[in-house]
Amino acid sequence: MNDKHIVSSFDRDLEGIQAQIMKMGGMVERAIADAARSLETRDEELAEDVRRADAAIDALEEQVNEEAALVIARRAPAASDLRLVLTVIKISASLERIGDYAKNIAKRTAVLSAMTPVNGSPSALRRMAREVEEMLKDVLDAYIQRDAALAREVIRRDEDVDQMYNAIFREFLTFMMEDARNITPCMHLHFIAKNTERMGDLVTSIAEQVIYLVTGEMPDEPRPKGDKTSTDPSIAPTS
C-alpha cells in the first residue's frame, strides 16, 4: 500500500468521525429544544421522544470512541492529527452528557404536568434553553470552520446563561416564600434550570476543545462565571 493511499484512507477515517460528531451535535440540539418545549407545553409524548432519543446519542458516542481508538491504533497519527482525534473524543463525551441533561429535563415534564403551573417559569426556562441551543450550534460551526474567535465568543456567552439562571433562581425563591404550594413545583423547576445551566458549561468545554484544536493550547483566561448561587452536587446527569 503506497503512502498516498494511506493518507487518503486516514483522511476518510477522520471525515467519517467528524460527520458522526456533527450528526450527534444535531441530535443534541434537537433534544435541548424538544425538552424545553415539552416542559412549556406540557407535552408528555414529546418528552418521551426526548428520553427515547437519548439512547441513540449514547450509541453514537460509543461509535465515535471506537472509531477514534481504531484510528489511533491503525494510523499512528502525527501530532496535529492526534490532537484532532483526542478533541473529537472529548467533544463527543460533552455532547453525550448534554443529551443526558436534556433527558433529565424531559423526565420532569410528566411530574410537572400534574401540578399547578408556576407563573411564567416554563417560558423563562425555554428562553434559557434556547440560548444554550444557539451556543451549541455556534460551537459546532466553530469546530467545522476551525474558528477560535467564534469559540471564544461562545465561552463569553455562557455568562449570559448563568445570569438567566440567577434570575430564575431568585424568582423561584420568591414564589416559594409567597405560597408554600409552590415549593414542590419550584424544586422541580430549579432542577431543570440547574441542568440547563450545566449544559451551558458543557458547551463551554466544547468551545475550549475547539480552541485547543486550532491553537494547540487550552485558553488560559478563566471562564466567565455568572452563577452566584450555591452549587448542588446532587444535580447530575443520569444515564
Q: Identify the weakest region by mean pLDDT among 43-47, 175-179, 219-223, 235-239.
A: 235-239
CA 148 to chain centroid, in Å, comes to 19
CA distance 123 to 21: 30
pLDDT of residue 204: 97
- Sorted by where each begins, the domain ranges of the chain are 3-215
Q: DSSP characters for 155-193?
A: HHHHHHHHHHHHHHHHHHHHHHHH-GGGHHHHHHHHHHH
Q: What is the pLDDT of residues 189-216, one digit of tens each?
A: 999 999 999 999 999 999 999 999 999 8
pLDDT exceeds 70 at position 112: yes
4 has pLDDT over 70: no
How high is the pLDDT of residue 5?
Answer: 46
Per-residue confidence (pLDDT) for residue 80, from 0 to 100: 78
* CB-CB contact of 46 with 38 (8 Å): yes
Q: What is the pLDDT of residues 55-101, one digit of tens each?
A: 999 999 999 999 999 888 887 778 878 888 999 999 999 999 999 99
Q: Shortest CA distance to 207 belongs to which of 67, 69, 113, 95?
A: 95
Portion of the chain with pLDDT greater than 90, in percent:
69
Q: What is the C-alpha to C-alpha distance for residues 188 and 42, in angstroms, rounded to an integer? A: 14
Selected from 3.40.50.300, 3.10.20.600, 1.20.58.220, 3.30.470.10, the CATH number assigned to the domain covering 3-215 reads 1.20.58.220
**Cell numbers representing residue 73 in the block:** 491504533
What mean pLDDT is predicted for residues 173-183? 92
Is residue 110's pLDDT more than 50? yes
DSSP notation for 13-59: HHHHHHHHHHHHHHHHHHHHHHHHHHHHHT-HHHHHHHHHHHHHHHH
Torsion of CA 174, 176, 180, 182, to 10 degrees: 120
CA atoms of 144 and 91, how far apart (whole Å) = 12
- The Cα-based distances of 151 to 84, 121, 154, 234 in angstroms read 16, 30, 5, 30
- In this prediction, residue 234 carries a pLDDT of 43
What pLDDT was estimated at residue 239?
54
The mean pLDDT of 136-151, rounded to a whole number, is 97
Categorize the per-residue pLDDT at 150 as very low, low, confident or very high, splitting at 50, 70 and 90.
Answer: very high
Query: And the C-alpha cell for 176?
Result: 416559594
Residues 129, 196 contacting (CB under 8 angstroms): yes
Over 60: is that where the pLDDT of 3 sits? no
How many Cβ atoms sit within 10 Å of the Cβ of residue 170?
12
Place 49 in a pLDDT band, splitting at 50, 70 and 90: very high
pLDDT at 230: 46
What pLDDT, on the 0 to 100 scale, is given for residue 226? 61
